[in-house]
Structures are given as structure tokens and as C-alpha cells.
Amino acid sequence: MGHREPLEIRKTIRRHQLREMVPLADSTIYEMEQRGEFPRRFALSPRCIVWDLAEVHAWLLARRAKPIPRAQHPDVTKRKSRPVKGQDQAR
């Protein structure tokens, strides 16, 4: 057997601590994890899910360093329920 380097023990945070740091919905975080855009959670036990605090800090710093373009506003004239008339269609 080869000699393995021991893994560094790092601080972990639970969901409520993550929510205080990252004000995104659970579903948004989950989808970002699935796409590889957010640090992955891992289980300490069957009922205890945690995130690596250093990975979350690194993610936040990367987000701050590179601004994310804002999403475009939806075209409300094309929605099926309660469409808004364009200015050329007004009255």
C-alpha cells in the first residue's frame, strides 16, 4: 500500500448557515450544484448535509470579482395570462 497524504480538516457549515451567507433559494443552489456552478454539499450522516466553508467563501469571492450580467426583463406583451399591451396598442 502506498502512503497517502491525510486530507486537510476544514470547517463545514449546515444549510441554515449557508442561507445566511448566500441568499439564494434552496432550489437555485441545488440546480447550480448540479451544473457545477456552486460548491457541492456532502453528507456527514444520513441526516446531516454540509458544505465546505472554504469552498463557499471562494465561490463568493469569485462572484464578487467577476460581475454577473443582469437577466433581461421578460417581454410582458407575450405572456398568456394578463398580457400588457404595447404602447402602440394602447387604447
45-70 pLDDT, tens digit each: 999 999 999 999 999 999 988 877 88
**pTM of the entire structure?**
0.67
Residue-wise pLDDT tens digits, 15-49: 999 999 999 999 999 999 999 999 999 999 999 99
What is the domain extent for residue 53? 12-67
Q: What is the pLDDT of residue 56?
A: 97
Residue 6 lies in a domain: no
User: What is the total count of domains within the chain?
Assistant: 1
Q: Of the candidates 46, 55, 48, 44, which has an alpha carbon nearest to the alpha carbon of residue 21?
A: 55
Q: In this structure, is residue 90 part of a structural domain?
A: no
Neighbours of 37 (CB within 10 A): 10
pLDDT of 78 higher than 90: no
Is residue 58 in some structural domain?
A: yes
Q: Is residue 47 part of a domain?
A: yes
Is residue 79 included in any domain, yes or no?
no
Residue 1 belongs to some domain of the structure: no
87 — pLDDT class (breaks 50, 70, 90): low
Gap between the Cα atoms of 32 and 47, Å rounded: 22
Query: Which residues on adjacent β-strands are paired with residue 51?
Result: 13
Identify the band that residue 74 occupies on the pLDDT scale cut at 50, 70 and 90: confident
Q: Is residue 23 part of a domain?
A: yes
**Does 44 fall in a domain?**
yes
